Amino acid sequence: MPTTTWNRHHILSLADFTTTEYNTVLQTAASFQEVLSRRTKKVPTLQGQVVANLFFESSTRTRSSFELAAKRLSADTLNFAAATSSMTKGETILDTAKTYLAMGTDIMVVRHREAGVPNAIAAEMDRLGVKVGVLNAGDGQHEHPSQALLDLFTICTLIDPASPRLELLKGKKIAIVGDILHSRVARSNIWSLIASGAEVHLAAPPTLLPKLFAEYILEEAGVKNQQFIISSSPTPHSPLPTPQLFLHWQLEPALQNADFVMTLRLQKERMTAHLLPSLREYHQLFGITRTKLQLCKPNVKVLHPGPVNRGVEISSELMDDPEFSLIQSQVTSGVAVRMALLYLLGSGKA
Ligand code: NCD
């Protein structure tokens, strides 16, 4: 395991993650990936510790992956699902969290449909002066740090399996395509990719990628001397020599010579207005297909956090094509990356 000290008590956002922290996560995940390739895939690292999965919103892969990660580290796991909990009797979120605290929980993995809930639980734990680490497993449209970290790990291990590290992405062109406005995955990915020195190209229809959103992203990131441009031409240009974040209201300029394409699910449950004429038109204009990938570098790879609307944001055929699709390896990487995150939050107590 890497010996770097880890000072973060909670993992709530990637907006202020440092290069050292990214590299610690990547190297730690690589060690656990090795553990997961052994015949006995379990280590005693978190023996005696309790990891509670507090999922107030639906999930398949994130919840299962955190649960498996905790079990592989020999922690005891508690699973909570809002629909079958005392919340249906009026118990509040913080009282629910304190119930799990009273049972000796060491790490809380929290997902909620409203942004800020993991932060509120973390603040309450800090106020109580207890050493409980809170991990954001997706909050509203805000952030999904573990997803972006597993995306980063998937890409970096593809480039250098022996030594995944942030700098491997420097200068790579990465397109993030789809429902950026509603996507917590996109927000977390923007922070990690900008930190890596990659060129990040966002592509969506204007309704799903408003200009104000880009201004907010840059302001929140505190990115100095970076420039974003809205391009409607196939050859975007910028007044700055090394711009890092580009916005496109068309797909083609984002795909041109891209090394990686991250597709996003249309978050129909978060849309409050009719933002698209039809799913068919959306697929025609922004759906990723093998034909459209011809604009990219020849060895381009495609990612998707899942769950997928097959035939909408990505063609069914491309999704299942192992030559281009990294979707299954993202899921596999998720376990090692989440083991790393639980280890880093929990090891201080071990
Ligand atoms: C994402 C999520 O829930 O934010 N999925 C995931 O965690 N694997 C993306 C999505 O729901 O589209």
Q: Are residues 168 and 295 in the same domain?
A: yes
Q: Is 130 in the same domain as 215?
A: no
CA dihedral (25, 138, 262, 187) in degrees, to 10, reads: -90
Kindly state whether residues 180 and 289 are assigned to the same domain.
Answer: yes
Taking the centre of ligand 1 as the mean of its atom positions, its distance from the CA of residue 307, in whole angstroms, is: 6
Q: For residue 257, give the nearest of 291, 297, 294, 290 by alpha carbon.
A: 297
pLDDT at residue 341 is higher than 80: yes
Backbone angles phi, psi at 123, to 5 degrees: -65, -40
| Residue 159 falls inside a structural domain | yes
- Known binding residues for carbamoyl phosphate are 61-62, 111, 144, 147, 306-307
State whether the beta carbon of 165 lies less than 6 angstroms from ligand 1: no
121, 134 in Cβ contact below 8 A?
yes
Q: What share of the chain is helix, strand, coil (3-state, %, to 5)?
A: 45, 15, 40
- As a whole-number percent, the residues of the chain with pLDDT over 70 amount to 90
CATH number at residue 138: 3.40.50.1370
pTM of the model: 0.93
Using DSSP's 3-state secondary structure scheme, residue 200 falls into: strand
Residue 229 has pLDDT above 90, yes or no: no
Which residues are CB-contacts of 239 (< 8 A; sequence separation ≥ 6)? 227
Reported as a single tens digit per residue, the pLDDT across 173-216 is 999 999 999 999 999 999 999 899 999 999 999 899 887 877 77
Q: Is 127 in the same domain as 189? A: no
For residue 184 and ligand 1, the question of a CB distance below 6 A is answered with yes
pLDDT tier, 225 (very low <50, low <70, confident <90, very high otherwise): very low
196 and 53 in one domain?
no
Check pocket membership of 62 for ligand 1, CB cut-off 6 A. Answer: yes
Residues 1-35 have pLDDT tens digits of 655 679 999 999 999 899 999 999 999 999 999 99
Claim to verify: residue 118 and residue 31 sit in the same structural domain: yes
Question: Are 72 and 166 found together in one domain?
Answer: no
The tokens of 150 are what? Answer: 């597993």
Q: Report the DSSP beta bridge partners of residue 81.
A: 55
One domain, residues 140 and 152: no
What total of structural domains would you count in the chain? 2
Average pLDDT, the chain: 90
Domain that holds residue 83: 19-144+331-349
Tens of pLDDT, residues 29-81: 999 999 999 999 999 999 999 999 999 998 999 999 999 999 999 999 999 88
The pLDDT of 225-230, averaged and rounded, is 51
Q: From the CB of 61, is ligand 1 less than 6 Å away?
A: yes
- Is it the case that residue 217 has pLDDT exceeding 60? yes
CB-based contact 184:143 (threshold 8 Å): yes
Question: Is there a domain that residue 14 lies in?
Answer: no
Which residue did the predictor score with more confidence, 1 or 120? Answer: 120
The strand pairing partners of 79, in sequence order, are 53
Amino acid at 320: D
More confident call, 207 vs 101: 101
Q: Which residue numbers belong to the known binding site for L-aspartate?
A: 89, 184, 265
Instruction: State whether 199 and 337 are in the same domain.
Output: no
Assess whether 86 and 182 both reside in one domain: no
100 in the same domain as 39: yes
What gap in Å lies between CA 285 and CA 311, rounded to an integer?
Answer: 12
Which of 86-95, 162-171, 314-323 bottoms out in mean pLDDT, i.e. has the lowest? 86-95
Distance of CA 145 to the CA centre of its chain: 5
Q: Is residue 5 part of a domain?
A: no
